[in-house]
Amino acid sequence: MPRKWIILLILVCIALNGAGFIWQLFEPILLYDEVAHFLTPLVLVAVVAEIIYRNGGDDEFFDTPRHAIITGSVIGLLGAAGWEGIEVILSAMGVAISNTVPDSLFDVFLGVIGGAAGAYIADHFLDRLFGRSRTDSNRPRVR
């Protein structure tokens, strides 16, 4: 992805999550929490995928679309579960955060889906960018 897009996406995630915390927007605004929990892992996985691609590690984690989606889902799961742990700690410290079990499970689900979507988008875009086959990253793209 062009560097401008990466910076813009990261800034959007920072603004989205920062505004949510500063002005308590996660609960009162319909779907704000859901968008944040989907978009953040999507952006983070896409950025991590590009870093991996640019450093030549795509043949292990992003060699096929299926592996990319699995890798993105795992990254999304770990990130979302870790964030829900932070929410539990913040709640225990007195910060007003909704961390009920159903909310946390749904947030983790959104993190997995967002991570998978980010990996799919990154894999699709980066395979084209680097001229690689969609089914075998060790072969050049056929066209």
Whether 23 contacts 29, CB under 8 Å? no
Residue 120: inside a domain, yes or no? yes
Residue 68: inside a domain, yes or no? yes
Whether 47 contacts 115, CB under 8 Å? no
Is the pLDDT confidence value at 76 over 70? yes
Q: Which of 7-11, 79-83, 119-123 has the lowest mean pLDDT?
A: 119-123
- Domains in the chain, number: 1
- For residue 17, CA distances in Å to 12, 56, 64 come to 9, 31, 32
Is the pLDDT confidence value at 38 over 80? yes
Please give the Cα distance from 107 to 122 (Å, whole number): 22
Residue 73: inside a domain, yes or no? yes
Residue 134: inside a domain, yes or no? no
Whether 128 contacts 141, CB under 8 Å? yes
Residue 95: inside a domain, yes or no? yes
- Per-residue pLDDT, averaged over 60-69, amounts to 81
**Domain residues for 81?**
3-129
pLDDT at 5: 83
Residue 20: inside a domain, yes or no? yes
Residue 143: inside a domain, yes or no? no
